Structure 1
Amino acid sequence: MDIDGGVNDHKESENLVYSMELPNDHVLLKERIVSHPLYDLLVNAHLNLLKESYCKVLDKLKEEMEKPMQETSDFIETMYSELSSIVGPSSTSDHH
């Protein structure tokens, strides 16, 4: 039973060492990435892509917000035209 306990203790200590090394490896990897000569170019390209996507979303939002106003305006024009055709041109010339 001592042998099994010793093996488990060894595995636990290996896991502890590995988990302690992982953050350092992460930091080193991060430093290597940031120091790469093309890092700034990649970051700028990524930000430009986000800006482009953001502008597309804003354009779509603007279209969606303008749609009800345009539909209302079209409806009013249609109703005005229909009323003008019913009432006749003499009444509408005062308003136009």
Structure 2
Amino acid sequence: MEEIYSGEHEENNGAVKVRSTREKGEGDIVEEEEEEEVLKKRIADHPLYGLLLENHTDCLKVGLGEIGDQIGDKSTTTTDNNIVNAKQLIKDATSSDPNSSDLDQFMEAYCNGLNKLKEAMADPMKEMTSFITAMYAQLEDLSGSKKKKNY
């Protein structure tokens, strides 16, 4: 049976839930919500979840520019070493649960995608910041608005 998804979204703690428009019984909805909760738990318990959150936070910091540099005490740069350690954790976890390979691939791809996004955003943000700083300095020079102390 072909499922048609409606455009109605229901917010749920930052997650978006799309409900199918095909008719369902009350039991089907409960079962679907239970499956969704199990999936959320599997994602939150995944070895790469911490790295995914770190990469997401790093992307947000890049988008904030200089303010983002001031947020947080430690540098949260994702390195290949972090990914290698996470892959070892995945290998250990999958030895007990062979069905998690799709989730492993998704989490790894998502982490890599966020890391590439951060790198792609960083250079234009630096260029923009330096351009704005230079323009601000030129405007100050042209307007002669450098603050002069009148004592």
TM-score by structure 2 length? Answer: 0.33
In terms of fraction of residues, the more strand-rich structure is 2
Larger radius of gyration: 1
* Structure ranking higher in helix proportion: 1
